[in-house]
Structure 1
Amino acid sequence: MNPAEIDRWKPESLSAVGAACAKQGAACDATIDSLKDQRVFGTWSGVAADSARTASQTLAGEYEKHQNELQQVRAAAGNGAERASQIKADLAAARDFITSHQFVLDDASGRVSLNPIQQWMVDEITVRSPERALEESQMLAALRDAQAKIDDVSAKADAADREVAVAVERAMSGDTAPLTSSNSVPAPQPGQLPGSPLQNSIPLMHEPGSSTTSRLVRVDVPAGFTDKSLTSDLAKKYAKPVTFDPHAPGVIGKVVDTRQHGKNYNLGAGKPDIVIPFKPDTGDMNPRIPRAPGSAGSLNVSINSLEKVRADSATPTAMRAVNVDGHNYLQIDYQYNYSAAAPNNVIDVNGIKLSTTNHDTWAPLTAEQAQAIAGRGVPLPTPGQ
């Protein structure tokens, strides 16, 4: 949430919502007391009287449910008003700090920058005295502090806005379970696979060979929440790029022979490209040449072009709210980034590998190139599986 949006906040409006809920709740109290007062039935008895008593108790229960919703909305609005007031005060303090250093704040983006004269001095003055160098260093440090203050205010505003919305939604749905906030769920560790479960999170299963995956984090977010630009406070905590250990399970895909239409490579298997039969009257002309299993005597030569793909990393692309088995989750979507080994040409003579390269040379692939290779029968790897 940027400073311009925070400026439009009105804590008094949230306080008014809380006051209205309190007033309505008091009215519910009076209605509930009346409905539960059995004295109104006097000496009335019989089937009709029993039905009336049951109906009044049922209606009283509905009013109690509504009263509970009002109490939760009132609490959410009151908490939201307090947080909004504090956040606006923090923003005012950050603006005072920015003004005192003559920096410039862009309210629409939240970016803090040097003023034109300060920027000119940094860009154009190449010879600096020790005093001037120290002054510039202090100015740039203050600029970083100013940006950090604005970023902190924006993150708090994002969290407050989101959690008030969730609290109201839960109140209206009758959900009284404790709120799971982003403060209680750890961020992923560097190199942790997107499909790997975090504390209070679950992996999302996906099709083997898919170029995308997701991570589900147990954080309550409002229904319909999306962050396609990954600029929210949640994105900064959870939507981090992941770099894979090249030796981790599933990071490197299966080796296939693209000349055999993507079949898994097995030495000595498949139909040979060249068959040279031995002459019947000569027997084994050269005992050092191995016979193919079950062969009456021939020289079988296969030329294989072996290819494989490696998943190097995963880049977050978007975030959104999802509901799984009645629980709210934050879903972070990722796109895998691949590289391919240069084709490895292997000459197979009667099941013996005679020629191959000794090491792999990897080159990064674009998304289009990865799909093209997959179309040739080279499977895309599924990290972690």
Structure 2
Amino acid sequence: MPTVVKGVISRTKNAPTELVDIVIPDPGANDVVVKVSTCGVCHTDLAYATGGINDEYPFLLGHEAAGIVESVGDAVTHVEVGDYVVLNWRAVCGECRACKRGRPWYCFNTFNASAPMTLTDGTELSPALGIGAFAEKTLVHEGQCTKVDEAADPAVACLLGCGVMAGLGAAMNTGNVGRGDSVAVIGCGGVGDAAIAGAKLAGATTIIAVDRDPNKLVWATELGATHTIDASAIEDVAEAVKELTGGFGADVVIDAVGRPETYKTAFYARDLAGVVVLVGVPTPEMRLEMPLVDFFSHGGALKSSWYGDCLPERDFPMLIDLFLQGRLPLDKFVTERIGIDGIDAAFKAMEEGRVLRSVVEL
């Protein structure tokens, strides 16, 4: 029988969120109903609410979630009732051209639930990133569930569902940071600080945090930065990075902001043949103008990182194990724990730079 639970929706562009009754249908053959334990408040949720993604309102917000599998469809083999899982929005299909070429982190046909969740009047909801987890329960495809060690605090584990994984993966997967490398990270919010933590875990010896907010630079230091640059206090951040790397520039520069000016800084802050990783998400109207000869003369690689180029089944359990071993301080990303009625206040705190992550506990 369909279940009615409480969930947070964005009904129209820029309107306050609403806590309403939503209907969870019975799971289809490959679907799973998950009782949500925790869900991080991500900037992507705010982008949905403000019209930055698309206009398919109403949205069921929330996507960085951990919970317990409550019921499964007849054909589900990937998880069982009672499993402790982190939800992901890259449930690889195994059949698209990216998967068949051995690049499943670029899967172009990821799975979602077979039926929509709705309002009580039957209005279909668009779940954020195919998940919709600011709710007591949610419906997803079995491939969107990754089983992890149940010893991990759900408020910590859930953050791998999006932002923290994006930053860790930008360093470890896309940037391929290695032992002894120098790394600069521009923008030290949740994603940027996760990139710093990933660079440290990968063995980087010089890790430079760049931001305009002194508090964020403090957080970055706690997560592994060896040097900090206050971008509000100097004119040329790229030169400052070079001064800290023997005059050469960093081996890997990660732009966790995603603006033309920060990307240009990242480009010129890297060593010759260094790597630039763009993980901050630009908006469609942004344009970049640079001399083409500079792209030729610098060499190296310019990469974009989608979801940290992760494979949830490979990466989530490994990163949780590293956390439980005390080798990856994922708990430091949890700034506050809030109730499901605190989403708008959490959005404001995020916009003002007062939190790395607010986590909803249900």
Q: Same fold (TM over 0.5)?
A: no
What TM-score comes out, normalization by structure 1 length? 0.21
Larger proportion of helix? 1
Larger proportion of strand? 2
